[in-house]
Amino acid sequence: AAGDMGSPLKHFTNAKKKINVLFSDIQSYIEDFGEFIDDIGNSDENLILEEELEDDVRAALEKINGIKDMLCRNHMKVVFFGRTSNGKSSVINSMLWDRILPTGIGHTTNCFLSVAGCSDEAGSSSDSDGGAYLLCNGSEKRSIKSVTQLSHALSQESMSCDSLIQVFWPKSKCALLKDDVVLVDSPGIDVTLDLDRWIDNYCLDADVFILVANAESTLMQAEKKFFHRVNEKLSKPNIFILNNRWDASASEPELMEQVRQQHLERGISFLADELKVISKSQAKDRVFFVSAKETLQSRMHKTQGKPDAPLGMADGYQGRLIEFARFEREFEECISRSATRTKFEYHTQRASKIIDQLHVKAEWLFSKATDLMNECHDRRAFLLQRLEYIDNQMKIVTQRSRESILSLASEAERQVRLAMSDEIRRL
């Protein structure tokens, strides 16, 4: 199953964890720098700081925190596209191993619908289905207790075709959701043709696009047009083509191989020659022949603990199940690689710019402090020199004064003696 230890999706989730640790480190370094500057500001050192320094550090910290928040919210996003009833909802359900989105006529997805993971405690209820909830155009949370209730809630919504219903489903229930994949179902191409608004609103941050085509017919012009527009707005989008309802061809085995070859060639030519998003040799790993209906049936059968195949499967279903799993493997590899590169590269570049700016500030502070130290040093040397001079002077003065006192004293003694000898003589 997707999401096991070997899943390529782990590249993304591991990178996200690592980068999160890295940003926490950067955050604490900047905090340290800020504290250091505060300390200097509060001390009576005569280090004059530039006015903006504190503000710069604060701003850098805010930016880093902002990026960190964004990184935490980062996910891998896949958008499904195709005509109504080609089986987009069924493909999503198969990938989630559960009947989460309503399928079939009467449940046409007529607006954008995203499925993302949430923690089990997120909802207000604490029963076994607890956690699941719904947001319509960002309105308040509505908890969903069952899949049937979700179908009902969705059919009640009268949403315009470019609005968004967000379904949050407990991560513990689906491996893809646990690994931060968000799946977006679009209204059928036949519902509206306001492609540009769609792309601008929901597709610019998509990592992978999946065209769910009907294996019983050729690619429609409208389906192709959408990808031409996507290709103009995004550089080399990752596109997969699922020829769904492949089980229907099982009834005509003599034609099957011929039809498959034809669809494969057209799919490859669309991706490689027309859109030029991938080379011809790589494009063959982007076109698959599946049956979402069979895959979902078989997977739900398995999760219910039933070992044998569900009844009524068309001939060759095992091959189609394997093909679906092969598609998922390629898809996981592709989305993980693309998201790791695009989602983290930009943010790390921004962070590195912020750090560079701070580095310049730190260097300025360092050279300022060195200047101050040198200044102190020079002043001390000057004072010492003066002290030494004064000391010498003192010595000289003392010496001189001692000498003069001595000579005065001996002079006085001489005088006294002279006077005394005069006196003696007179006597």
Binding site for ligand GDP (CB under 6 A): 82, 84-90, 103-104, 108-109, 188, 244-245, 247-248, 291-293
The number of CA neighbours under 13 Å toward the Cβ of 282 is: 13
Give dist(CA 354, CA 415) in Å, integer.
Answer: 90
Which residue number, 107 or 386, has a Cβ lying nearer to ligand GDP?
Answer: 107
User: CB of residue 115 vs ligand GDP: minimum separation in angstroms?
Assistant: 13
Q: How far apart are the first and last CA of the chain?
A: 140
User: CB of residue 213 vs ligand GDP: minimum separation in angstroms?
Assistant: 10
CA distances (Å), 239 to each of 21, 102, 189, 206, 209, in order? Answer: 32, 25, 16, 11, 5
Give dist(CA 419, CA 421) in Å, integer.
Answer: 6
Give dist(CA 417, CA 162) in Å, integer.
Answer: 128
Among 270, 406, 249, 333, residue whose Cα is nearest residue 76: 333
Q: What angle do CA 274, 280, 281 make, to 5 degrees?
A: 165
User: CB of residue 91 vs ligand GDP: minimum separation in angstroms?
Assistant: 7
Give dist(CA 177, CA 116) in Å, integer.
Answer: 6
CA distances (Å), 171 to each of 37, 115, 119, 388, in order? Answer: 44, 11, 6, 80
User: CB of residue 226 vs ligand GDP: minimum separation in angstroms?
Assistant: 14
**Side chain identity at residue 366, one-letter code:** F
Which residue number, 15 or 96, has a Cβ lying nearer to ligand GDP?
Answer: 96
- Could you count the other beta carbons within 10 Å of the beta carbon of residue 79? 25
* Helical (H) or strand (E) element with 112: strand 112-118
User: CB of residue 116 vs ligand GDP: minimum separation in angstroms?
Assistant: 18
User: CB of residue 297 vs ligand GDP: minimum separation in angstroms?
Assistant: 9
Which residue number, 87 or 170, has a Cβ lying nearer to ligand GDP?
Answer: 87
Which residue number, 307 or 312, has a Cβ lying nearer to ligand GDP?
Answer: 312
Which residue number, 290 or 358, has a Cβ lying nearer to ligand GDP?
Answer: 290
Three-state DSSP class for residue 178: helix
Give the pair of three-digit tokens for residue 17. 């964890």
Which residue number, 251 or 269, has a Cβ lying nearer to ligand GDP?
Answer: 251
User: CB of residue 85 vs ligand GDP: minimum separation in angstroms?
Assistant: 4
Q: 275 Cβ partners below 8 Å, 6+ apart?
A: 227, 228, 231, 239
Which residue number, 206 or 321, has a Cβ lying nearer to ligand GDP?
Answer: 321
User: CB of residue 298 vs ligand GDP: minimum separation in angstroms?
Assistant: 12
Residue whose CB is nearest to ligand GDP in the complex, by number: 87
Q: What are phi and psi of 289, to 5 degrees?
A: -120, 110
Which residue number, 49 or 248, has a Cβ lying nearer to ligand GDP?
Answer: 248
